[in-house]
Amino acid sequence: MNMGHAATGARYWKAVAGTNGAGTGITRTYFISADEVVWDYTPTHHNGITGEPFDATADTYVRSGPGRIGSRYAKCLYRGYTDGSFDQRTVRSADEAYLGMLGPIIRAEVGDTIKVVFRNACPFPTSVHPHGVFYGKGSEGAPYDDGTGNKLKLDDAVAHGRRHTYVWKVPERAGPGPGDGSSVMWMYHSHTDEVADTYAGLIGPMEITRKGDARPDGSPKDVNKEFFVLYAVMNENESPLLKTNLSRFASRLLPPHLDEDEEFGESNLMHSINGYVFGNQPMMTMKKGDHVRWYVMSMGTEVDLHTPHWHGNDAVVNGMRMDVVSLLPGTMVVADMVPDDVGTWLFHCHVNDHIHAGMLTRYRVLP
Ligand SMILES: [Cu+2]
């Protein structure tokens, strides 16, 4: 079906609404925990872009010392588990290592139902709030005066050690629209204290594939490589774990008035791609001629205007050819690429200040 952008009238509005379709597919259950972990923004301990040790500019962000936390921070991240006992983490394969800080990919096909069995193992209340899909008030994961009470509030803030099961339906309006390809991306994130929770790291990707176009795991059949990438300045100054991080990772000789120290503030602004800075992300690898779908998103505040740029290859976004995409906080963009240029290529934010701060990574196209 190609309704095009010029469509009007009843047929057009029917396409906007989508035929319902919810409940005609299967139920996909994901076991996800909010876990407190020690995260390293630079696990390779060097600048992967220059191939050299960190210079003075990079040290602003990655070096620990008196009143400087460095590259390691306690964070709260969504992590996948094999079942409701939450004993065993799902294993991330080597080609999914690039996902880094992101939560597990939630995949579904239009018509399915998504069930997220959620456990909060973090020291503050958290939730799971989805974009895009159909949810009731007991599965929205956001506290505000919405006229509900009691049971319908249990999803808003899950206390430490508690659980909640979120149920989301996937009607046609949650899947690809008239101008989309075979799949679309939504994000999910904690929305109990939205700002603090997402700076803690509680964010993940969700993918919805058009009915009939999905493999058994929910991914689209016509795509052979997918990459989910978050460009975000993680403001660790606003993380609920800031005090923990200061006491664990900064040298004890804290300068006075740390909260007014501009350089301290800057040192905690991690200009990251999936939680990595200065080319420390595990390589995103594809083959020449692959049907590659990039799902690129951003979160944060007014510094989070990002312009991810691929060297070497181009993509089609909204039907137009591009090698740079525009992101603002909360934006999600799908970019399709058939790489023809073999090599190891930069993929970086084009905002000058963000380049200095290490918002750069690489991808590799194999012959
Ligand atoms: Cu940027």
Query: How many angstroms is it from 20 CA to the middle of ligand 1?
Result: 38
Active site residue 76: no
CATH number at residue 121: 2.60.40.420
Q: Residue 3's pLDDT is what?
A: 47
Q: Is the pLDDT of residue 2 over 60?
A: no
Residue 4 lies in a domain: no
Residue 65 lies in a domain: yes
Domain that holds residue 263: 18-366
Residue 5 lies in a domain: no
Rounded CA-CA distance 129/194 in Å is 10
Query: How many angstroms is it from 337 CA to the middle of ligand 1?
Result: 21
Residue 292 lies in a domain: yes
Query: How many angstroms is it from 271 CA to the middle of ligand 1?
Result: 7
Q: What is the mean pLDDT of the chain?
A: 94
Angle at 56 between CA 52 and CA 58, to 5 degrees: 70
Residue 208 lies in a domain: yes
Number of folded domains that form the chain: 1
Q: Residue 6's pLDDT is what?
A: 59
Tell me which of 202, 241, 349, 351 is the catalytic residue: 349
Phi, psi angles (nearest 5°) of residue 313 = -140, 160
Residue 127 lies in a domain: yes
User: What tens digit of pLDDT does each residue of 6-28 get?
Assistant: 578 888 888 889 887 777 899 99
User: What tens digit of pLDDT does each residue of 268-315 get?
Assistant: 999 999 999 999 999 999 999 999 999 999 999 999 999 999 999 999
Q: Which residues are placed with Cβ below 5 angstroms of ligand 1, an ion?
A: 306, 349, 351, 354
* pLDDT, average across residues 61-82: 94
Residue 10 lies in a domain: no
Per the model's pLDDT, the better-predicted residue between 4 and 9 turns out to be: 9
Q: Residue 31's pLDDT is what?
A: 98
Rg value, the chain, Cα: 21
Residue 80 lies in a domain: yes
User: What tens digit of pLDDT does each residue of 135-193 get?
Assistant: 999 999 999 999 999 999 999 999 999 999 999 999 999 999 989 999 999 999 999 99
